[in-house]
Structure 1
Amino acid sequence: MQATLNANAGANTPWYKHRWPWFLMLGPAAVVVAGSYTIYLAVTRQDAMVVGDYYKQGKAINQDLRRDRVATQLSLSLGMHYDAEAHALRGMLSSAAMPMSSEVHIRLAHPTQPEKDVQLLVRAGADGRFSVALPQLEQARWQVTAENGARSWRLEGAWLWPRETGIELKADQATND
């Protein structure tokens, strides 16, 4: 008799006093909160990977391929290493077809945060050697681009710092990655 009284007492209480409806509503409530947060992130954050003028970017790719071909014709190679103690980037630019005393623009692009990109202007000596101050690099897979001041040639590659202390960019390897 006591068991039937307890069963009947639970049937007379309102739904919001039971724990199961609240437990079942917890999942959809969590989805609503997560979806709201995702919408907030999408609206307040800028996507650095999207470009406004994709047609213009597509045309620029063809020009970049021409610059890679020019680098191949000049047999260009760029070897460089980062000296963490001296906070300096040292390297050598070599070519079989042109003198080495020139300006080289080196760009180290962070894979996810464009504000951490590094732009360097390097003046190579007659032997092609250079050294330039560089603040401490963050551990990342840096995308390295080297080009001359006239932007007629380009070398590219990926650098896994600090696993790789140096990088060798060669013209015939400039188009992979």
Structure 2
Amino acid sequence: MIGPVWVLVGGAVMIWLAMSRPDAMVVGDYYKQGKAINQELRRDRVASRLGLAFDATHEAAAGRISGSLRSHGAPVRAPFHIRLAHPTQPARDRVLEALPDGQGRFTAAAPALEPTHWQVVVEGGGGAGAWRLAGSWSPARRDGLRISAD
């Protein structure tokens, strides 16, 4: 007789867990997301035309990411953003502001990063000149990161 009671209690706990922690991966407006994908692809093509290459190193002890952004081998001096997207928890995403110096080198504060597989998006420019580089990175496997436009 106690078995069915435990099944009911376990089922109630599972329902509570499912309802209290909604899946963050589900998107409510698929049409808008589809249009956004087209814009992302356009920004990828701009990055390819500019010949962009992003190199960075994560210095965990110092709490920073440093590196450079180049366009056809020449340093890019305009500010840009580095977005680090956590694979499962959007609340842990990070957006870093990179302000390159005269040689195109930058340093951005980066608090301790979990040893997980981050999605990295480097983006800059504005309007029709907006560009984007995207890649993935696991700080536990390698300190360095390189993303080049195709």
TM-score (norm 1): 0.76
8 A Cα contact 1:74 1:96, kept in partner:
yes
Are 2:16 and 1:40 aligned? yes
Structure 1 residue runs of 5 or longer lacking an equivalent are 1-21, 173-177
Structure 2 residue runs of 5 or longer lacking an equivalent are none
Aligned to 2:117: 141
- Alignment match of 1:162 (pick from 121, 124, 140): 140
Are 2:45 and 1:69 aligned? yes
Q: How much does 1:149 deviate?
A: 4.4
Aligned to 2:61: 85
- Alignment match of 2:131 (pick from 144, 153, 170): 153
Q: How much does 1:129 deviate?
A: 0.9
- C-alpha distance in 2 between matches for 1:31 and 1:67: 52
The CA deviation string for residues 60-96 of structure 1, in whole angstroms up to 9 with x for no partner, is 1011011111111111010101112211100110111
Aligned to 1:15: none
TM-score (norm 2): 0.89
Greater strand fraction, Structure 1 or Structure 2: 2
How many residue pairs end up in the alignment? 148
Aligned to 1:119: 95
**Structure with the greater relative contact order (CA < 8 A, sep ≥ 6): 1 or 2?**
2
- Residue 72 of structure 2 aligns to a residue whose secondary structure is coil
Over the residues paired in the alignment, what is the CA RMSD in angstroms? 1.9
Greater helix fraction, Structure 1 or Structure 2: 1
- C-alpha distance in 1 between matches for 2:74 and 2:41: 20
Structure number, greater radius of gyration? 1
- Residue 161 of structure 1 aligns to a residue whose secondary structure is coil
The CA deviation string for residues 4-23 of structure 1, in whole angstroms up to 9 with x for no partner, is xxxxxxxxxxxxxxxxxx5x
- Residue 63 of structure 1 aligns to a residue whose secondary structure is helix
Sequence identity percentage: 49
